[in-house]
Structure 1
Amino acid sequence: MESAPIRAAEFFAGIGLVRTALERVKGAQVQVVWANDIKQAKFDAYAANFPDAEDHFLVRDIRKVQSQDLPAGIELATSSFPCIDLSLAGNRRGLVGNQSGMFWEFAKIVEGMSPRPSVVLLENVHGFATSHKGEDLAAALARLSKLNYSLDVLAIDARHFVPQSRPRMFIVGIQKDKLPSQARHDVPLVTDTRPPWVQAIHEKHRQTLDMHHIELPALPTGPQDLEGFVEADVTANLWWGQDRVDAFVRSLSDIQKARFDALLAADAISYRTAYRRTRQGVSVWELRKDGIAGCLRTTGGGSSKQALVRLGRGSKAIRWMTPREYANLMGAHDYKLLAGTPNQQLFGFGDAVVVDVIEWLGNNYLLPVLRPTSAE
């Protein structure tokens, strides 16, 4: 007998990569029946990929969303709330910040839902764990615990699935009467999804809050280079001119220049990504030493954009990464780039979650909880 679809709500939906991932989960159909974001440009990208967006996507400030705006029967609520106040690269205002403080609005809406979702999945940067010396995370966990959720904390770097270094932490909340039999309440062992700092969070809070953990399979190794993720056929005018390439090379430190020259002289063509940094008041370029991309960011300026460097056989070429390459590195190879400007597209992907990570969590964690018979 086929199981009923899992009805899901996607808070801070952005361009819809959580939905993209959930629709790939094997063993049960996941239907996103409600989504929300404040930005019209993100809705436009979402609608270009999901024709039913007009039926369920609410473009509205979450502070103006009411619990009754959501349809009944939602089992899963996902929330990739803004990270700017939690990120180590941000202002570190934490959950009192205007952006990351939207967590409280999400919790308020969930509190008013009847019944509440069986499972909530939250995603944010690792800085959430250290913001205000851990007090922000403790407050968020306590708020969810008051809503009758037992809580698990995980950490996953997207480099296990795509060639992009993108470490993120996840909170999985399960209504206590929905906890599966395999859920344990002791301190989890150190694994690739629960490194020592995550283990310490469980240890710290398990006596005062409802905490659990579920055994998960080991994460895959992941690709080690950008092959298959770089856009092969781009127009020639996207590649930088000689003067700009020369300026790039001149900005490199001695260590960076040695790395650049070694790749330039190699017999094989290879790709590296580079970020522009400010060092001692001077703008310089830094080349990654490995073959994967740095963490894609929202494009608020030149320093947040990532350049692609092609080197080998005495040949060098440099350009900005394209929206299609951003999509590929977010696990969204088939995502249609039909809406928005290139910068809006880069922003949308830099602000999103990696599809493969959510799909893996869906198959190995969410589905066994929400549809245990389908997951067998």
Structure 2
Amino acid sequence: FQGRLYYVRVSAYNMKGWGPPASSLPPSAAPSWREVDGREPRRRGHIEAMERLLQQVRATHTHYCCGASKLQNPSRKQSVSRSLKHLFNSSNKFVKTLKGIYLAAVFYHKDSLLVTAEDQIPIVEVDDSYSSSLMQDFLWFTKQLSCMWEDVRWLRQSMSVSMSSSSTLQARHKMLTAAGQLQLQSLLGTHNLGRVHYEPIKDRHGNVLLVTIRDTESQHSLFSGKWMQVTKLQSQRKSLSTPEEPYALDVLIITIQDILAYQRRSTHRLAPGLYLGYLKLSSSVDQIKVLVSQRTPNMLCHSRIRDNANVSEEWEWIQTLSATGEKERSGDDSEEAEPRAESHTPLLYYELQTAIKALLKLVNLPLHARHFRLYSQEVVELGHGVSFLLLLPAADDVCSAPGQSNPYSPLSGFLHLPLQMFE
């Protein structure tokens, strides 16, 4: 090893001894594409910096938590108690009076769910109505609490100091309050409520359910409830709604298997290797969504290129390929999206050729060279020995605008996840 390059010589050997050494072609090779470009890892020091920032924020608001722990509001405690008693009544009575936003906690182990003594999924009220900013508030709630359930208390107390009359802050404070209620010892008795489901469940009656999901290691009792088979809960559920206009709670129970399947699949890791991912976004009035497969919703739609995740000297070839593609972008539409073979073409050329065909077939897209580009700014390294090269649509088609027609729609088995949820 000399500098940032590897130099290798090879000699043949038989019973008569060693032959003369021969140098490799090319004579040297960089261990990674980063050495070729002279780049530092993108996330170097970022985790440590975020941890320091979080500790500073916690230290700043410690006095709020300490002060609140000494002061209790009896009227508030009685109000919460009456509210919880009402919300955990039988499911039929609950549905009759449900109007607004609610937070539901789905705790599961294998094919069983944790339910209340009344055979109901634990639910607390967030607000009796919702505004047009619900999706933004929901995405904020998800982003804040994805790994900070233990900090719900001081987040809520810190926000209450600066709430003033802001409707947005009030709505978000109510979400934190509902999460804090579920965490009470008399209810679930745990800080960790799991992961927030990627979309709220809405109905035509003005109800919205925000759902958190947690896979427990065993069927231990977290509160005065019990475990029930999912199929039994579904069969015992007596709904007052109609199939045409089901209540949000009915939708949750009917689709619970799909929700749990999404939760399990979203935690699966890809096997180590190099993959080709397809980046396709779509925008609406209040959010941007990314196209993913239902089988692997935590990854872009992809096809496998090879077992070896490392890209080294091939990076220069990718840069050349990308530059050539830009020059030929205005060529005939009938040309296939395949790079032209040249002398000393790397093996990646043939691997990428196969991966492109498999990926475009997967997402139901035609092979047209001018429509697709290979992202040549970096190799996306996800850790655990997994790396991605990205295939991009034409610049105008990377993110579809509201109402924009798409002549090539994906086949069934795909989701459009909000970008914040995918992250």
- TM-score bracket, normalised by the shorter chain, equals under 0.3
Q: Structure 2-normalised TM-score?
A: 0.24
Identify the structure with bigger relative contact order (alpha carbons < 8 Å, sequence gap 6+).
1
Q: Structure 1-normalised TM-score?
A: 0.26
Larger Rg: 2
